[in-house]
Structures are given as C-alpha cells and as structure tokens.
Chains A and B, each alone.
Chain A
Amino acid sequence: MEKFQKRFIDEANEYFESLESALLYLENDFSDTQRIDEIFRVMHSLKGSGAMFGFDLLSEVTHDLESLYEQVRSQEIQLNAKIISFTLGAVDQLKKLLVLNAGNEERQLVVELKRDVASLLENSPSSSTTSSSSSKNEVVENNEQETENGRSFFVFFQPNESILENGTNPLYLIDELSTLGESKIEVSFASLPDIEEFNPQKCFASWKVVVYTQEDLDTIQDVFLFVQDDSRIEIVELQHGNVLENQEKIARCFSISVDEVESLIGEDADQAENSEPIENQIQVSEPVKEKATEEPVTKANEEKRNQLVSGVRLDTIRVSSAKIDEYMNLVSELITAQSHLDLIAETQKEFEPVSEHFAKLIRQLRDNAFDMSLIPLTNMATRFRRLVRDLSADLNKKVNLVTEGLETEVDKTIIEQLGEPLLHIIRNSIDHGIEPIEQRLENGKVEEGTISIKACVVGTFVEIEIADDGAGIDLSRIKEKAIQKGFFNADDSISDSELIAVIFKPGFSTSETLSDISGRGVGMDIVRKRITDLRGDVEVDTTIGEGTKFTIRLPLSISIIDGLLTQVNDDLYIIPTGSIEKIYALTADQKKNALRQVVVFEDQEIPYLDLPMEFSTTPKEQKQQYMIVVRYDHKLFGLVVNEVFREHQAVVKPLDQMIGHHELFLGASIMGDGRVTLVIDVNKTIQKFSA
C-alpha cells in the first residue's frame, strides 16, 4: 500500500502541474473548453485516487473544486479571473494536503477552502440568466414534442482490460447510460479467454447499447469521460425518433461488428431527415488502431477528432528515473563486456565479424540510453510562468514572459538542479530589474516589462539566456556596497567585470530592504555554485536603463563527457576536453627555469600544477612532459602530465561513497578493458592549488 501511496504522490504532483499549466492558459482565454474539461478531469481523478489511497482531506477539497468546475463546464458559472486566481491558490493548498496524517492545521485549511468554494459558487454570476432560462424553455418544448425530437444512438463500449484496477466499475457507466432514456443493452464476452488464462481481475466484456434519449451526443460522450483514454468507445447517432420498436433494426445493430458501425448510419440517412448523420458521428477514441479509411467529415469535426485522438495516443510512457539509471548501468556493463569480446576476437578470427556487429549495436544502444535521460526544458516552463504571474501581481508590475527554444533537451540531473537557480534569477529580474509601471512610463518605456528566456544548443553545451528590459544593475551602487563590505579598498581601480563578479559573492545584496521575494531561498552565490557544480558557468551583461542579461552555459549531459586520456606517472587519468585550451610540450629545462611554478608560453604567464609530483612521492621524471592548458575563470592554468594519448568518451560514475580527499576528481570512468580511470575535476583542482 505504501508503494501505491508514494506513486499517488508522484502522480498528484504531476496533476498539480497540469492544473497550473491549464489555469495559466485559461487566464488568457476563458472560453478554452478543452482546458476547462482538463481541470475538471484532473480534479475528479485527484478526488477518486486521493480517497482510495487515504488522502481524505485532499479528496474532500477536490470534490468541491470538481463541483465548481462542473458548473463552469456546463456554463452555469462564467469563468473569470477571480475563479482562476482562487484555483491557483487552492492548488498550492492542495499540495499541503498531500499528507497522510493530517493535523489540525490541515483540517483548518480544508474548512477554509471549502468555505471559499461555497462562496464562489453562490456569488459567481451565471453565464447569463436569460440564456439558462431560455434553455429551460427549450427543454419544456422538447418534452412536448418528445416523439419528434428524441434521438437514437448506438454505443459500443469496450473497456480496457485493466479498467477494474483503477476502481472503475464499467457496469455503473452502462447504468448511467440507460438512465438517459430507453435502452436496449447487449453484452458480449467474445474476448473472454479460456479458463486457464482467465484473470478475474480483468474485464473481458464489451457492451453494445442502443439508447433512445432526449439528450445530445455530448451528454452521451460525457458518460465515458473518465474512461475514454483507454477504452474503445464508438458512438453513432442512428436517427431521430425511436428505433427501439424496430426489432429488425435492433437485431442488426447487435449483430454487426464494431468496424461496421458506420454502415448503420448510411442506411438511415434518407429516413432521418435532419440528423446529419456523418457530422454527428464522432469516433471518440481508439487507442488500438487508426481507421484505415477515413470517413468524409466536416472540418470542425475533423479537428475535434484529431484533438481527441492525439490526446489519446500513448506517445509517452512514465518510467521511474531509477529504472533509467539502471538501464544506463547495464549499457555501460555491456560496453565493458563487448571490449572483452573484442580482445578474444583479436586472437580468434572467426569471432571478428560478430564482435564488430555487437560493437555497432551497443554503440546505438548507448546513444539511445543517453538520449532517454534527456528532458526538454519545457518541463520547467510552467514554474516560470507561475512565478512571473504571481510575483508581478504581488509587486504591482506588469511583466510579460517570452520563451524561445525551451524544447532544447538537457540531462535530467541538470534539469533537477537547475530549477532553483533559474527561478532565483527570474525572481531577481522581476523584483530588482523590471521597474514599477510609473517609473517605466517616466523613462519612456512601455508599461509592460519583458523577461525573455531563450535556450539553444552550442556544440556540446546548452546556453540559457535570461534577459529583462528593466533598470539594469547600477554598478556604482555595487561598488559602494562592495567597498563598504570590505571586498575592495576605496581607492582601488575596479573593472566592471570585477564588480559584476561581486554579485556572486556570498552575503552580498544591493537591495536596501531585503524583500520577501529575492531574500528567500538561494542567493546569487548559490546560483553560481549550483551552476559550476554542473560544470557550467554564468555570465552577466548589464546596461543601466536597458536591462540585464544572464547567460548560463551548461554541458548537455553530466554523465557523459568528452575527455582527453592522459598518463600521470604510470596511471591513466581523464581530463574533460571542454575546458582545455591548448597543449604544450614542456621540457625538463623549462620546468627547472620556471619561477614559482609559472611558465611563459606565447608571452603569457601560465601558472601550472605538476600532477606527477602531486600524485606521487616518487614522480616519474621525463625529458619531455606535456602541459595541458585549461581555462578557469577567464584565466589560463596548466596541468602537467607525462603522456597524452587520445580523446575518450567517458561515462562518469560517481566515486564511491567513502570519502577522503576526493575533491580533485569528478568521478571515475570504466574503460573498455574493465579498468577504472579517474576523471580530474579541473575547476576544483585549480581552486585547491591556486588559492
């Protein structure tokens, strides 16, 4: 049970996210019925599964919210900004209710939420009173001419075999359908397996129902609203009037196979004058296969149908990230095993073609595995939108968020680590960057500020740019503060880039009153640390009065790196290629002449670290060694090694959990022959030795 509860929490969090995203869209377009439907469905699912897994409070509140959106759907209540704001707030509260052992605080919350929903339900203006009353009139009229206006529908319903697992009883749906009017029902057990294979927890039945009702197609579809995603449902309007008396027709309905359903309409097209049969025929959902022959449908219906079908097709599945990690591990094991085979093939020639074939397949498998752990940045977009919306409202500013290239895919570990820093930068931009409306107008800017987030791939890096058109950073103020805090002396000459670097120092803040907004969570120093931990860097461009731009560069993946295979003493080490600028040959004489471990190449003084000496008490002496020059914080730094071999693509594994002095290494990589090679963490190594 615990396992299911955990899964529900995961699922609920996803639901919350889709709620937020739908609400934010609705905010711009109150009439987007698809999104309203989505909200309604999510609330319903939360209510149902919440109750099932013991999250009673959550279920209680979502029940009320569901009723609210039920009324929005049926247009008894007109959706407005107030409802959306309330729901967004409610979603935040719902997150707090995602606990099993609720205390008084949570209970209090529920009471408040329920009261708020109730008051919304009471006070909200209905769509328009006149229209609703006129629709009532229609109903009355309809009743008068019952025989003329009733319609007959044919419904085929084949639930997914696993429908019982999520607690749905298909019989209730059939019952609900028959309450709509008169009906004839036939159940089919055609797919019932032999007794040996019979599984009592699965549903093998399907239903054919002919129903005669005053309701329209939508109402019938709504019966299956919550199962439409994984069931096969065909609904066809047969004709106006009651076909139930027509025994022959009924018999025919029940005898034909589902794929011939369309033929039922053709027959009746001339009988029913006003039914427009083809337009009303909607294939609600068919996850199993696409129809080979498309019926001619009107444009509107085709669109609707496409939407429905595309919403249904399972083009993604959810896999726990632990499974992906495991898969990656297995793939790297396979690479190791393959190199073993390769060794054998060298002596036993008949293995050679097999080994080569394996090598090729494994390479593909590896690429595939890496690809799988990439996630588009879009996943964070909802959080950005939400932040901009809430914060700009709080601060009484107008801010427009523009995004570009968020479909760029990045390793999932990076995405996980990146959320907080990005949000912090956006928070800062809104709080300190974008000016209040009056001030913007005064400065001749448009009322609404803009924050743009752009992402794109540059080589093996992804670049994320966050720019605002706000006030920019006042460097003179930073200078003042920095001197006050003792980072500089008052009479130092300080360059702009040095001043900007100060922003990232711990404990530095220019804002006079630490606001609730940027003052919480992480500071800019943490932002920078997070980003360098991911082996990326961050740059700031700012112009007073025009705005500030943060550019973050990150490697696409942290579990795989391009490295240079080198030898220090008798051991192999990998140095990530990303930071390497140049490689020089370094003679023993040059080293001898070097003053305080600084050599001069091409007129540049380059400090270096002698790795053979650093790694061993008995370093290997050579006439000629190599100095690998890396870039670190805009400065050059040399790492001396004995040999340089070749480039090597390394899968970086975390070093063991027992820690001593591992800070020099990023991790380890397992080579083709199964041996372990350490990957040097250039940044940390230099930090340690240049300080």
Chain B
Amino acid sequence: MENEIISGLDSYLSFRLGNEKFVVNIGYVKQILEMTTITKVPHMPDYYKGVINLFGDVLPVIDSRVKFNLEEKPYGKSTCIIVLMISNQDVTAKFGLIVDEVRAVLQIADEQIKEPPEIGGKFKNELIHSIANVDGEFIIILNVDDIFSTDEITLVNPNQP
C-alpha cells in the first residue's frame, strides 16, 4: 500500500494553480503536507526546489508553477505539498508537488473523461493525461507518470549504482 500506485480508482484529488484547476488520480497520492522548510540542493533545475524531511526520509519537492511554466509566486497559507508516487520501468519513487491549494476529492466516471485537445493549450501536452468534464467545467487530469519524461531528472534506483 505504502509504496504502490493503486490503479483503477475513479477518485481524483483536485488542486489549484492560479486560476487553473487540475486533478490527479488518487491512486498516485500518498500524503498531503503543509508547506515546510525546504533544503536547497545545488546544481538542480529551477523547479527542483530541494528536499524535505518526510517522516525521517528525504523527499525531493518540485514547484508545479515553475514546472508548468506559470509565474512563480511566494508561498502562502494555503500552499501545500502533495506527495505523489511515480513509477518508470520498475523503479518507483516518491516526490512532493508544491501547489497553490488542495481542493477536494472528486468522483469522475470514465464517460466524463476525454482525450486532450491536440493544440491550443497553454500547458505542455505531456503534462496532460486527459480532460474531464465535471458539471460543465473542464479540468486537466495530470499525467503523473510522464511528468519528468522530458527533463534532465531521471529515476534511479539507489540500490543499483
């Protein structure tokens, strides 16, 4: 449970970035943390804010605003860190995603979910898994698995140097 991605759930956690609403499948979500002190790690890309203490383990955190090419803003009261599980070719790892605000858990049925539009979005396509229509509002379903696919960050299993 603790270190697995649970698939096949139709619950989604919604969060806000500026005016934009996103959801992420609840199967990826491990924890939601309040903003805490982040330790910088030199020589890392801008969006890699550093590492935090997650119950005695060291967890890297990513600023979603920088990552998604939005204007960077100082963290406020409602800023949260969503701890997500990611997997790539047998390697799984946790990371924290800094978001403006965590909203609610939504039930989204498969019929409500559509392919993302080919063009015209302000977000990179690889970040968008699909689009959900919830009560007439269009919400981006985040593509967690490919979130680092175009980056210099790769998943490495620390036990296999």
Binding site for B on A (CB under 8 A): 329-330, 332-333, 336, 533, 571, 614-616, 653-662, 664-665, 667-668, 670, 674-678
Contact = CB atoms under 8 A, between A and B. Distances in A.
Contacts of B50: 676
B121 interface: no
Nearest to B37: A675
B119 interface: no
B59 interface: yes
Given A657-B157, A658-B155, A668-B51, A676 B39 contact: yes
Contacts of A654: 58, 158
17 contacts: A330-B56, A615-B42, A615-B43, A653-B57, A655-B51, A656-B51, A657-B93, A657-B94, A657-B157, A658-B60, A658-B155, A659-B153, A664-B43, A665-B41, A668-B51, A676-B51, A676-B53
Contact of B95 (A533, A656, A668): A656
Interface string B83-97: 000000001111100
B56 A655 contact: no
A329 B157 contact: no
A286 to B, nearest CB: 43
Contacts of B41: 655, 662, 665, 678
Contact of B48 (A660, A665, A668): A660
B155 A660 contact: no
Interface in B54-106: 55-60, 91-95
Contact of A571 (B39, B58, B154): B39
A207 B57 CA distance: 53
Interface string B119-161: 0000000000000000000000000000010001111111001
A498 to B, nearest CB: 28
Contacts of B37: 674-675
Given A657-B94, A674-B37, 13 more contacts: A333-B56, A336-B53, A614-B42, A653-B57, A655-B41, A655-B158, A656-B51, A656-B93, A656-B94, A658-B156, A660-B43, A660-B45, A668-B39
B161 A533 contact: yes
Given A656-B95, A658-B60, A658-B156, A333 B42 contact: no
Contacts of B40: 571
Interface of B: 37, 39-45, 48, 50-53, 55-60, 91-95, 148, 152-158, 161
Nearest to A568: B42
Nearest to B56: A333
A211 B53 CA distance: 67
A664 B42 contact: yes
Contacts of A656: 51, 58-60, 93-95
Given A656-B93, A660-B48, A675 B60 contact: no
A329 B56 contact: yes
Contacts of A614: 42
Contacts of A661: 43-44
A659 B154 contact: yes
Nearest to A663: B43
Contacts of B91: 657
Contacts of B51: 655-656, 668, 676, 678
A659 B155 contact: yes
Given A658-B153, A677-B39, A333 B45 contact: no
A655 B57 CA distance: 9
Contacts of A664: 42-43
Contacts of B161: 533
Contacts of B45: 660
B148 A658 contact: yes
B49 to A, nearest CB: 12
A668 B56 CA distance: 11
A658 B42 CA distance: 14
